[in-house]
């Protein structure tokens, strides 16, 4: 995810390569990032003076070690995408610092993600706008209370897996009905993509779009009746709730 954000920041011209410094303990990884993105790299978490934003994109269990090496970092604002690490824990690691906790999702890799952000009371309006600009480079941004971030994880954080599973199942259905695998997959992907775009651009409620496609005694209502009988709607709701509960457990 860190590289996805890095690549989109540069591709969208949000920041110049020269304005970004990346820390990574693995030499081959540093060489790769420096060569591909033309950014400055460092092995030891030493960042340039007057750093506007320090983005933490490490494993949650590495926070304490990383925080020690960044104790005197001059960053104006700390931004964390560490799953399950609360603002309270981040504040303990970086006392008296403006802190933003962010939850992006994997479509960020192609600039089509959505990121939920929550802040502590030290983040001012100007800093918030900078953070929004960073995450808008990878998609849309919503502000939420930190107490809602586990629900965000359950819905949009884990959500790409639900959609991928649905696309795979739709393609399997196409194959079962006689379509070649490649054609079935193409149709399934574009159907999901186009439907999402249609809902986004028109503002239609999903129920309205469903009704537009569903004619009396037609093919769509026959399929919907089967999906309702199989419990698709309740299964999706329970999936989001299960992921939310798991996120809560991991954050303790």
Pinpoint the residues of the chain covered by CATH 1.10.3730.10.
159-250
Residue 59 has pLDDT above 80, yes or no: yes
Mean pLDDT of 69-97: 86
Residue 248 has pLDDT above 90, yes or no: no
Residue 133 has pLDDT above 90, yes or no: yes
In terms of Cα–Cα distance, which of 111, 161, 165 is closest to 138?
111
- Stated length of the chain: 252
What's the fold here for domain 2-146? Rossmann fold (3.40.50)
Write the pLDDT tens digit of every residue in 214-244: 999 999 999 999 999 999 999 999 999 999 9
User: What is the side-by-side order of every strand in the sheet holding 113-119?
Assistant: 54-56, 78-80, 99-103, 113-119, 139-143
Residue 49 has pLDDT above 60, yes or no: no
10 Å CB burial of residue 119 (0-12, 13-18, 19+) is buried
Write the pLDDT tens digit of every residue in 160-192: 999 999 999 999 999 999 999 999 999 999 999
CATH class of 159-250: mainly alpha
Q: Mean of the per-residue pLDDT values for the chain?
A: 92
Threshold 0.85, pTM exceeds: yes
Collapsing DSSP to helix, strand or coil, 48 comes out as coil
Amino acid 50: pLDDT: 59
For the chain, give the percent of residues with pLDDT over 90.
Answer: 78
Confidence of residue 44 (pLDDT cuts 50, 70, 90): confident
For the chain, give the percent of residues with pLDDT over 70.
Answer: 97
Give the whole-angstrom CA distance, residue 109 versus residue 116: 16
């Amino acid at each position: 995810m860190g590289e996805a954000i890095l690549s989109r920041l540069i591709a969208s011209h949000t920041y110049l390569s020269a304005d970004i410094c990346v820390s990574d303990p693995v030499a081959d990884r540093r060489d790769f990032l420096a060569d591909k993105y033309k950014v400055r790299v460092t092995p030891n978490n030493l960042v340039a003076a007057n750093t506007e934003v320090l983005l933490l994109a490490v494993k949650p269990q590495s926070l304490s070690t990383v925080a020690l090496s960044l104790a005197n970092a001059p960053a104006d604002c700390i931004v964390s995408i560490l799953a399950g690490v609360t603002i309270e824990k981040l504040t303990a690691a970086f006392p008296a610092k403006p802190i933003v906790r962010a939850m992006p999702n994997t479509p960020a890799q192609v600039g089509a993600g959505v990121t939920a952000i929550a802040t502590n009371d030290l983040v001012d309006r100007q800093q918030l706008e900078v953070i929004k600009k960073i995450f808008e480079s990878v998609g849309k941004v919503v502000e939420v209370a930190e107490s809602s971030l586990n629900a965000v994880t359950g819905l949009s954080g884990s959500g790409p897996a639900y959609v991928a599973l649905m696309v795979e199942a739709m393609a399997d259905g196409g194959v079962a009905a006689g379509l070649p695998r490649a054609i079935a997959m193409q149709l399934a992907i574009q159907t999901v993509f186009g439907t999402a775009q249609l809902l986004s651009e028109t503002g239609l409620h999903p129920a309205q779009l469903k009704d537009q496609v569903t004619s009396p005694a037609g093919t769509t209502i026959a399929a919907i009746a089967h999906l309702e009988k199989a419990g698709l709607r309740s299964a999706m709701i329970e999936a989001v709730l299960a992921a939310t509960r798991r996120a809560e457990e991991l954050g303790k």
